[in-house]
């Protein structure tokens, strides 16, 4: 059982309800083996025992396998499309009370970017963004709202000046923006999806999933969108079978529920 990956997958699911069968095995196993080696623990059974007893190790494990990499306005050219085309169309269709979900939101960079970008079109106090992630520790960081200079590098200068305060070497997002986002823990592969969203943003997360798991999530996103609602995905992703799933493609990274 020392390095029995089937045992590990079952033990991880029992502990966290994260199903490692939905992730690409070779890639995920390599990440976990590297983490175990870093902690100088021998074998999966010893590691599972360790994370059951040590909250710090447990939180590190969940954060590591859920692969939290994020930054504000990631791929600025796509945010330009959002600003110039997608937001105006959504407002014209649905009005200013847009229902928006930032799925797998990581440290909050994405939902906070959505609030700032949308504030150019809608008064800040009318904006609501629902943001979810599987990792509770990461959500606590999102709540805190402290970021490095590198992570906010792509934020437009006017918004950076307006909505960030320098605190030592870090930058803190303003309470004005923070108050527009509601964070909640959510597992894309297991938990219930709310319905009637006008915009769902889920970027650079599903690349780590198997093809079957990806399709399952994309189908659920489509069901969660209102008719004419839009899904915004990452620059490393494409929905190759989007027609079969029931989407219309606006461009490479924006898909619409007809």
Q: How far is CA 253 from CA 78, 151, 200, 236, 246, in A?
A: 8, 22, 12, 9, 15
Q: How far does Cα 107 stand from its chain's mean position?
A: 8
* Full set of structural domains in the chain with CATH: 5-65 (no CATH), 76-256 (3.40.50.150)
Q: What is the pLDDT of residues 28-46, one digit of tens each?
A: 888 899 999 999 998 899 9
pTM recorded for the entire structure: 0.80
Token digits of residue 152: 């906010």
φ/ψ of 141, rounded to 5, equals -65, -40
At residue 166, the pLDDT reads 86
Which residue reads 């990440």 in tokens?
31
Rounded to whole angstroms, how far apart are CA atoms 73 and 78?
A: 9
User: Phi/psi at 134 (nearest 5 deg)?
Assistant: -75, -20
* pLDDT tens per residue, range 213-224: 999 999 999 999
41 and 61 Cβ atoms separated by less than 8 Å = no
Candidates 71, 146, 133, 106; CA nearest to 79 is 71
Per-residue pLDDT of the chain (258 residues; tens, 9 = 90+): 456 888 988 998 888 777 788 777 888 888 899 999 999 998 899 999 999 999 888 888 877 776 555 789 999 999 999 999 999 999 999 999 999 999 999 999 999 999 999 999 999 999 999 999 998 888 988 988 888 888 999 999 999 999 998 887 778 899 999 999 999 999 999 999 999 999 999 998 888 788 899 999 999 999 999 999 999 998 878 898 999 999 999 988 999 999
């Amino acid at each position: 059982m020392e390095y029995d990956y089937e045992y590990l997958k079952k033990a991880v699911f029992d502990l966290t309800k994260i199903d490692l069968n939905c992730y690409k095995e070779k890639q995920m196993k390599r990440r976990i083996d590297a983490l175990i080696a870093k902690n100088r623990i021998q074998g999966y059974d010893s590691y599972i025992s360790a994370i059951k007893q040590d909250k710090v190790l447990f939180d590190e494990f969940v954060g590591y396998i859920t692969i939290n990499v994020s930054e504000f306005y990631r791929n600025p050219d796509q945010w330009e499309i959002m600003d110039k085309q997608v937001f105006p169309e959504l407002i014209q269709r649905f009005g200013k009370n847009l229902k928006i979900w930032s799925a797998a939101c990581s440290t909050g960079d994405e939902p906070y970017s959505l609030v700032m970008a949308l504030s150019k079109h809608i008064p800040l106090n009318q904006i609501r963004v629902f943001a979810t992630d599987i990792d509770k520790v990461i959500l606590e960081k999102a709540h805190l709202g402290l970021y490095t200079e590198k992570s906010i590098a792509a934020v437009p200068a006017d918004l950076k000046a307006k909505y960030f305060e320098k605190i030592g070497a870090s930058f803190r997002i303003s309470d004005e923006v923070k108050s527009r986002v509601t964070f909640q823990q959510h597992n894309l592969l297991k938990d219930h999806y709310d319905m009637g969203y006008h915009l769902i943003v889920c970027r650079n997360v599903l690349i780590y999933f198997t093809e079957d798991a990806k399709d399952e999530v994309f189908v659920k996103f489509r069901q969660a969108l209102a008719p004419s609602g839009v899904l915004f995905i990452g620059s490393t992703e494409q929905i190759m079978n989007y027609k079969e799933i029931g989407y219309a493609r606006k461009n490479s990274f924006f898909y619409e529920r007809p």
